[in-house]
Structure 1
Amino acid sequence: MLTIALESVRFFAHHGFYEQERIIGNHFVLDVLVRLPEPEHPSQLGESVNYEALFAISKEVMEVPQQLLEQVVHDISVKMKARFPVIRYSKVTLRKQAPPFGGDLAYSCVALEKQY
């Protein structure tokens, strides 16, 4: 299996359960990992997954405010698989910096793994 990943992609977005979070926004860190069968011709991008396209998908989804991070990682997973049917496994991890609930923590985190 071939693994292709984007690590620690930083976004400023307006996701959050509370209205104030969606108004003010927050910093997020995204990791995307996909696995696919090894291409027969690894020098041809058409047989692989273009990580620039993975970034574009992620950026498009991150620009749409959602109440739950679970919805964000789901939407990224669905769009990646639709664009690249060759994907056999995906993991999308989204971390929200300093979520505003009074605790002293760096990030909250939601991750979605899928086997196809």
Structure 2
Amino acid sequence: MMTTVSLKGAEFFAQHGYYPEEQVLGTTFIVEVDVTFDAGDESSSDELDKTVNYEYIYHLCCEEMKKPRKLLETVANTIIQQIQQRYSFAEEIIVTIKKKHPPFKGKVDHSAVTMRYIKP
């Protein structure tokens, strides 16, 4: 049985951005993570070590969002790599990072980057 554990709408203030003013001013980011794995016979287990702990995912995102980076792709990739190391049984990992109100001349709700890992 395939299971997906998700973290949705995790909000952080961070200073990611290509332009120096973005790294100074910062803005709000929304992070979403989906980790899919084959729970197999463990699907009826009530043990945390038999699944993906979304509290760990949240704390991982907190730590990575604190490190200013130029590209959201770098942040998303690092999150994916950390999840892969902790949960080698993950079949698919999807990370989306939304940048609220990017510094454009017009009104834009958010820009976003989505990266997907699929186990070979």
Q: Same fold (TM over 0.5)?
A: yes
Aligned position for 1:19: 20
- C-alpha contact 1:39 1:48 (8 A) present in aligned 2: no
How far apart are 1:101 and its partner, in Å? Answer: 2.1
TM-score, normalized by length of structure 2? 0.93
Listed one character per residue, the Cα deviations across residues 59-81 of structure 1 (whole Å, up to 9, x for unaligned) are 11111000001101101100111
- The residue number in structure 2 matching 1:64 is 67
Q: Distance in 2 between matches of 1:63 and 1:40?
A: 38
Residues 1:53 and 2:56 aligned together: yes
Letter matched to residue 97 of structure 2: L
Task: Decide which of 74, 88, 111 is 1:108's aligned counterpart.
Answer: 111
**Secondary structure in 1 aligned to 2:90?**
coil
State the number of aligned residues: 116
* 1:74 aligned counterpart, secondary structure: helix
Gaps of 5+ in 1: none
